[in-house]
A and B are shown apart, each in its own frame.
Chain A
Amino acid sequence: MSGETFTITIDQRPVDVVAGETVLKAAARIGIKIPTLCYLEKCGPLNSCQVCLVKINGRLVPSCGTVSEAGMSVESESVEVHEARRTALELLFSDHVGDCLAPCNRLCPLRLNIPVMLRETEEGRIQQAISTVFEALPLPGVLGALCHHPCEQGCRRGQWDDPAAIRAIEKHLADEHRQSKTPYIPSRKPASGKSVVIVGAGPAGLSAAWSLLRQGHSVTVADRHSQAGGTLTSVPPRHLPEEVLAGETRQLASLGLQFRFGSELGRDLTLDGLLRGFDAVILAVGGITPAEAQSYGLESSSAGIKAQAETFETSRKAVFACGRAVREMTQVLRAISDGQSAATCVNQFLMGSPIRKTPKPFSSIMGRVGRTELKLFLRSTSTSSSTTPCNPSAGLDRREASLESSRCLHCDCRSSGSCALQTYAQTYGVDASRFRSQRRNFEQQVQPGGVIFEPGKCILCGICVKLTEIAREPLGLAFIGRGFNVRVSAPFNRSIEDGLRQTAEECVKHCPTGALSWK
């Protein structure tokens, strides 16, 4: 039998296969990446996750364990197959206890990875912390001073005592950066050859500029005033010191931003003129009347310029609008995130791709945690209450910032970003809340050797059970129970690490979710 070759088709494409080869491997050879969670070459097909389903002869079968047969016709990338895979993922998420992203991170419209920033600050890795902040936030100094910090409202630590002082820590990092001799330059794509002009140097305009610069475009900001900042310039210095705003302008200039002050749309500039000189225009002119909008030759709405909510497009091609020029907003954070979202759409426009709103990053959401669950998170954090800076006007110093950061519960998932389940959820557009159900309690076993086991995140793929069996672990791991109540555990109430004496490294590495991780 072995050595015999024949042809099968996958999505109408012929593939030559060797007898005995699975459909999964055959598909991989022609670049069709069928998702798998429970498949690991070493373990052989376990056929448990059912995420690798394909359709053969009208039946859905797991491709990891289905051996190719001559003349087989396989359907992989079809609506029906994708729907089945999505449902498998949604079912797994309906019984997945844990958050991929912490609530602070999910609530930040700028997607600052706050838990990472806090861990870096806590450990004194200030340069990394600065990098984390400066890669995510367009105006970190302004935000450190004025952000209304929804992150802190969502912080689980607040359920216990006080939320982590996230904004104060971020402000500390922005201050450290401003005082350092080597400014941090965020990563940038190579020059695209495209140019954008932004009218209005307020928070929305500057934020859009920052984002577009990083995409490699050349950006010019025009403003009728003689300095950048827009409404920010009218904030009293005790709230926003002048040097902070000046620092932001310097930072943007070092990214290559061109300013054209003293130029007003309708007086010095026209849309026609701007469109002759630039590939796209963003209007971030702040609060204006519908009449003013019309005077630019654009359709208006009750709040100003009429723009598509999802794509920021105005009635005129290549002209976009964002910020208070489009809708009412009182928070500077909203204006900044609006500018950033508009920039994403403009970038898509410039690159010739379809314009659509950036989807939210996927996250499993476990919702409100109970007191007992909270205590599990508290075990490995500082129990002290919130840190008061010695010098209130200067904010937290480095030691205080580290102390305050150590109050973070680390309720985000340690495997976020490397988790296959999370990745496929994003790819397949999973709705993690499709099924209403009572969730299990969050559990977390912290092992002395550094393994963390969170049974609620286990999808029972069986890889770790199989790996311990292959390695002939003296104790090993086992499936305990039956049906919906099956759990992976070490036999006889022993600890997970007792079951993983030789295989801890391997099992943590191959766990497709965050059920097994290193501290």
Chain B
Amino acid sequence: MRDATKSEPYPSVGQGHPDGRTPNVGPVVDLRYAEELVERTGSSPHSVIPILQGLQDHYGYLPGEALLKVCESTEITPSAVAGVSSFYDMFRHKPVGESIVRVCSGTACHVTGAERVEAALRRHLHIPDGGDTDANGLFTIEKVACLGCCTLAPVVKVNELTFGHVNQEKIPALLREVQESVDGEAPATEDPCDPAGGRPVINVGLGSCCMAKGSDQLFVALQKDVEESKLDVVIKRVGCVGICHRTPMIEVKVPGRESAFYAGIKAAESRSLIHRHFGAKGIFHRAARLWNKAVDGLLLEESVDPTELFRVHPKEPTVSAFLDYQIHIATEHFGRADPLDLDEYVADGGFSALARCLGRSLDGASSNGGRNPAITPEEIITIIQRSGLRGRGGAGFATASKWKLAAAQTSAQKFVICNGDEGDPGAFMDRMLLESFPFRIIEGLAIAAIAIGAHDGIFYIRHEYPLAVRRVRAAIKLCQQRGWLGEKLMGADYPLKFTIKEGAGAFVCGEETALIASIEGSRGMPRLRPPFPAQSGLWQKPTVINNVETLAMVPWILRHGPVKFATYGTSASKGTKVFALAGNVQRGGLIEIPMGTTIRQIVEDIGGGVAPGRKFKAVQIGGPSGGCLPARLADTPVDFESLRDVGAIMGSGGLVVLDDTACMVDIARYFLQFTQNQSCGKCTFCRVGTRRLLDILEAICAGKGRAADLVELEKLCRQVGAGSLCGLGKTAPNPVLTTLRYFRDEYEAHLQGRCPAGKCPALIKYHIRDNCTGCTICAQRCPVDAIPSTPYQRHVVNMEKCTRCDSCRRVCPSNAVEIV
């Protein structure tokens, strides 16, 4: 009876799996593509993720038949397909709507109302909780961990279009816009640009955030208008400009004249801008004159130029405050360099460090006829060691120690990996660096390869960063075309092959051993260390994994010397750190500051503090592994040790400012929800422990907490931290522990049924004050008819019906709606 019966390999379908993450029988699927894909990608077990990604790109989801086909025609087992396809966020087993609406739930988005945006989207599209696609099959809602556009929070991305500063009132227009532009295709920004020579240049920032604010459309409009008017002006693609709160930002550079900067300018202003700076010729000139007369002349005074409204002066106090503290090492030449102009990169000193490591000069010959030998791998490591460079990915492990350990291994094959799986919600430094400075990261990774003796390099980049993937791919191709990568690295007798692996959506893959598992085609589950990856990593070969920002600093250190690098920073934390400054702060953006800068300098001087009338309450630093530090500790210098001493960590560089509208219990709950959702599920403490921590926090936020809960919370936090297998679980309790330590009064208030910040829906009520004029706007906007429309009378909110969406309070012109 217990004997295995030998019949067809995969017998008929049994009972359904309750979690619905297993293949469905969908519409009839043409399997020819699956066959082609396997042919192209290869049939070895480690091809599973690229194959699944290819299937999903083609079919929009993973049809069960196609998965079976893959198992039949490759060495990939059913277990691997089922396990891997259900592990990573990006894979879907059901057909999706025509458009995918991705609601970012990163930290900055969370504190600026992402949950309300999602609720409003669901209401608008009539998608109930638990469902994801509307009845017409037009839209599928997907919650994503972080889109990395934190300064635009809350962010929604529909297909390839990103929308920033979304609120419930903007949703109908947003969806209309999407339906009108069915393609939803973002303009390509990887084509080669003309070199400027001595011509006038307009620099357009084309980082993801800038593009989300329309800089790509502006870029295309400027190109078109310049061409039409036959002007000899170069429209130049540049990387992130850092001043994200003012994007899209452009710089007009005319030789011999001072640069002019514009912020927040749109494609519609393209013509005016060109007209203003370069006059105009031909048809366009006449048209512009006519337009100016017809429109401006009638409405405005002749002297008012619409573009003047957007003009920014670099000496403007807010801009200079934002820029003055910064030291640009990883972000050297920010806002000026074309991400994909290899000549420009070389002209700026790029690849000279790598060339020195190989004993080459940049014209392709051995330098000094070979008399001046290359810096040896040992010397590279010594230089990095003397610079004091520590990993920028979070833990701050000395980069040179990692390299030394890997260099000491005798294996014939070694790997270097650039860890671009930036997963912290509220962080986007690595995305920006990859998008803006791909050559710099390539150079850094190549130097790391030489230092340890590796001939294979891998860029592991999360799939949520398509632009970063495209730019790195384009940059690698440009290097190959020049003969600088491949069989002969920079012409030297050193083969180095670079490949790109796209992550598939799993925060835990930022952990080194999980990242390796993912590249090997498995579920991204970390393993016990030792052995460390530098001893036994990818395919059991010595492997060095460095964060993007760490690698971005390497060429600079070799060019300027370790001493120069070490002059920045503190005694144990050398150099600079890139931060993504976001949240309730006036001037968010991407900043690079010397280690040791205080939190206050960052928040108040660089970021301009919180909005007027609000109070600076805390900063969340280090993302889900970090902590919340109260405003009273704002003089803490930002370095590895100081942050550790106050219970936070440096982390990868997310720095979210919180004002008095943020509920600290809710913040703790938010992070636990994140880690709980991102836990790989392998070890007990992380899988179940974080869930139990979340249970307690949810109970407290719902007003069902008990005094004993705080004791259990603290105890379990310590045990989860001590007992988890990898860094994710070990640090997951930090947001809870720091909020318990610094904001215990808020926890206690919740136990008494109060949410002091007025955030937790179960603990707040809306009340309309006497100054209500009875204008009925709130009643019209209320999505659930909880406010009867009673003109000229004070309105009243029916709390039974109210969903706490906050619409009424936001739209009230008399500020009469209050949270009690």
Shortest beta-carbon distance from A381 to chain B in Å: 20
Enumerate chain A residues within 8 angstroms of B523, measured Cβ to Cβ: 479, 482
Which of B5, B79, B530 meets A491, CB within 8 Å?
Answer: B79
A284 contacts the other chain (CB 8 A): no
B385 contacts the other chain (CB 8 A): no
Shortest beta-carbon distance from B181 to chain A in Å: 34
Chain B residue total in the interface (Cβ 8 A): 61
With CB as the reference atom, state the residue of chain A lying closest to B24. A493
With CB as the reference atom, state the residue of chain A lying closest to B679. A483
The reply to whether A47 and B725 contact each other, CB–CB distance below 8 Å, is yes
Query: Residues 13-34 of chain B: 1 if any A CB is under 8 Å from the residue's CB, otherwise 0?
Result: 1111111011100000000000
In A458-508, the 8 Å CB interface with B consists of 459-460, 462, 465, 468-469, 474-487, 489-495, 498, 500-502, 504-505
A62-B528, A87-B719, A483-B678 known; A50-B684 Cβ under 8 A: yes
Shortest beta-carbon distance from B540 to chain A in Å: 14
B722 contacts the other chain (CB 8 A): yes
A437 contacts the other chain (CB 8 A): yes
Shortest beta-carbon distance from A69 to chain B in Å: 9
Once A and B bind, how many residue pairs between them come within 8 Å at the CB atom? 186
Which of B1, B14, B19, B676 meets A487, CB within 8 Å?
Answer: B19
A84 contacts the other chain (CB 8 A): yes
The reply to whether B83 and A494 contact each other, CB–CB distance below 8 Å, is no
Question: How far, in whole Å, are A491 and B87 apart by their CA atoms in the complex?
Answer: 13
Which of A94, A434, A477, A504 meets B4, CB within 8 Å?
Answer: A504
The reply to whether B1 and A450 contact each other, CB–CB distance below 8 Å, is yes
Question: How far, in whole Å, are A504 and B3 apart by their CA atoms in the complex?
Answer: 9
Question: How far, in whole Å, are A462 and B725 apart by their CA atoms in the complex?
Answer: 15
- Residue among A62, A88, A91, A94 having the largest count of chain B Cβ atoms under 10 Å: A91
The reply to whether B528 and A493 contact each other, CB–CB distance below 8 Å, is no
The reply to whether A94 and B79 contact each other, CB–CB distance below 8 Å, is no
Enumerate chain A residues within 8 angstroms of B677, measured Cβ to Cβ: 483
B506 contacts the other chain (CB 8 A): yes
In B708-735, the 8 Å CB interface with A consists of 712, 716, 719, 722-725
A240 contacts the other chain (CB 8 A): no
Enumerate chain B residues within 8 angstroms of A451, measured Cβ to Cβ: 2
With CB as the reference atom, state the residue of chain B lying closest to A481. B86
A449 contacts the other chain (CB 8 A): yes
Query: Residues 620-655 of chain B: 1 if any A CB is under 8 Å from the residue's CB, otherwise 0?
Result: 000000000000000000000000000000000000
With CB as the reference atom, state the residue of chain A lying closest to B719. A87
The reply to whether A484 and B64 contact each other, CB–CB distance below 8 Å, is no
With CB as the reference atom, state the residue of chain B lying closest to A64. B528
The reply to whether B83 and A480 contact each other, CB–CB distance below 8 Å, is yes
Question: How far, in whole Å, are A91 and B685 apart by their CA atoms in the complex?
Answer: 7
A45 contacts the other chain (CB 8 A): yes
Chain A residue total in the interface (Cβ 8 A): 66
Enumerate chain B residues within 8 angstroms of A60, measured Cβ to Cβ: 722-723
A107 contacts the other chain (CB 8 A): no
- Residue among A441, A479, A505 having the largest count of chain B Cβ atoms under 10 Å: A479
A65-B528, A91-B689, A487-B19 known; A494-B725 Cβ under 8 A: no
With CB as the reference atom, state the residue of chain A lying closest to B3. A449
A47-B682, A94-B688, A435-B692 known; A480-B78 Cβ under 8 A: no
A147 contacts the other chain (CB 8 A): no
Enumerate chain A residues within 8 angstroms of B530, measured Cβ to Cβ: 67
With CB as the reference atom, state the residue of chain B lying closest to A502. B4
The reply to whether B681 and A485 contact each other, CB–CB distance below 8 Å, is yes
The reply to whether A477 and B683 contact each other, CB–CB distance below 8 Å, is no
- Residue among B1, B19, B678, B723 having the largest count of chain A Cβ atoms under 10 Å: B723
Query: Residues 201-219 of chain A: 1 if any B CB is under 8 Å from the residue's CB, otherwise 0?
Result: 0000000000000000000
Enumerate chain B residues within 8 angstroms of A47, measured Cβ to Cβ: 527-528, 682-683, 725
Question: How far, in whole Å, are A434 and B79 apart by their CA atoms in the complex?
Answer: 35
Enumerate chain B residues within 8 angstroms of A51, measured Cβ to Cβ: 684
Shortest beta-carbon distance from B686 to chain A in Å: 8
Which of B82, B527, B691 meets A480, CB within 8 Å?
Answer: B82
The reply to whether A493 and B13 contact each other, CB–CB distance below 8 Å, is yes
Question: How far, in whole Å, are A492 and B76 apart by their CA atoms in the complex?
Answer: 14
A48 contacts the other chain (CB 8 A): yes
A92 contacts the other chain (CB 8 A): yes
The reply to whether A485 and B2 contact each other, CB–CB distance below 8 Å, is no
A484-B687, A492-B22 known; A478-B83 Cβ under 8 A: yes
Enumerate chain B residues within 8 angstroms of A495, measured Cβ to Cβ: 11, 14-15
Enumerate chain A residues within 8 angstroms of B15, measured Cβ to Cβ: 445, 493, 495
Enumerate chain A residues within 8 angstroms of B1, measured Cβ to Cβ: 449-450
Which of B19, B83, B684 meets A92, CB within 8 Å?
Answer: B684
A47-B725, A449-B1 known; A491-B82 Cβ under 8 A: yes
Shortest beta-carbon distance from B715 to chain A in Å: 8
Query: Residues 43-58 of chain A: 1 if any B CB is under 8 Å from the residue's CB, otherwise 0?
Result: 0010111110100000
Shortest beta-carbon distance from A414 to chain B in Å: 15
Question: How far, in whole Å, are A92 and B686 apart by their CA atoms in the complex?
Answer: 11
Report, nearest first, the 7 A-B pairs whose CB atoms are least far apart.
A501-B4, A491-B82, A495-B14, A486-B681, A491-B78, A478-B79, A91-B688
Query: Which residues of A are at the interface with B, using a C-beta cutoff of 8 A?
Result: 45, 47-51, 53, 59-62, 65-67, 83-84, 87-88, 91-92, 94-95, 434-438, 441, 443, 445, 449-451, 459-460, 462, 465, 468-469, 474-487, 489-495, 498, 500-502, 504-505
Extra inter-chain contacts (7) besides given A50-B723, A91-B689, A437-B691, CB under 8 Å = A47-B682, A67-B530, A91-B685, A489-B82, A492-B68, A495-B14, A501-B4
Could you jot down 15 A-B contacts, CB within 8 Å? A48-B683, A49-B684, A61-B528, A62-B528, A95-B688, A460-B687, A479-B86, A480-B19, A480-B82, A482-B86, A483-B679, A492-B23, A492-B68, A493-B13, A498-B10
